[in-house]
Amino acid sequence: MFQLPAEGRMKAWRDFRTTLESLTLEQALVQTAEFWAGAPFVPYNLEPDDYTKWPDPWTLIYENTYCDVAKCLGILYTVSLTTHKTAMEFRMYVDPVTKYTYNLSWFDEGKYILNMINGEVLNNTQFDKNLNLVKTHTAVDLQLDNY
């Protein structure tokens, strides 16, 4: 999908979201994690400190440039544009030892965590409790219900 021209990407993304409708939430999140694992990665694109400047879903797909923040946002947009309704958050954590930043898509209060390991779904029992939470943006902050 990510190699297609913009118009083709939009259609492919819509078609992918449609396939999620008949799945359970867990199955849909597994498919979403695998889907976004194929996104082309750039080290920096979106400013992590100002979510008000983050693109809407269609601009994100149109621009096709995915840093870790953009990928996390794409995951949230993908699920929010389906019938799977659950608590969704963008969470940023920092490892106090390595200083590495993790931008994570949290679903159902951490029952499902995406974007920590590319293409995998984790849960809060597998999550490193030593990481420091830096930011949380809720579905309301990100206006996920407006799309």
At residue 147 the predicted structure's pLDDT band, cuts being 50, 70 and 90, is confident
Residue 127: which pLDDT band, with cuts at 50, 70 and 90?
Answer: confident
d(CA 81, CA 62): 16
Is the pLDDT at 124 greater than 90? The verdict is no
Q: Span 40-48, mean pLDDT?
A: 91
pTM of this structure: 0.95
pLDDT at 35 over 90: yes
Q: Over the stretch 65-105, which tens digit does the pLDDT of each residue have? A: 999 999 999 999 999 999 998 999 999 999 999 999 999 99
The pLDDT of residue 75 is: 98
Q: Which residues pair with 19 in a beta bridge?
A: none
> Dihedral angle at the C-alpha atoms of 139, 141, 146, 147, nearest 10 degrees?
-70
First-last CA distance in the chain? 21
Q: Which CATH number fits domain 6-146: 3.30.70.100, 3.10.620.30, 3.40.50.300, 3.40.718.10?
A: 3.10.620.30
Q: Is the pLDDT of residue 17 over 90?
A: yes
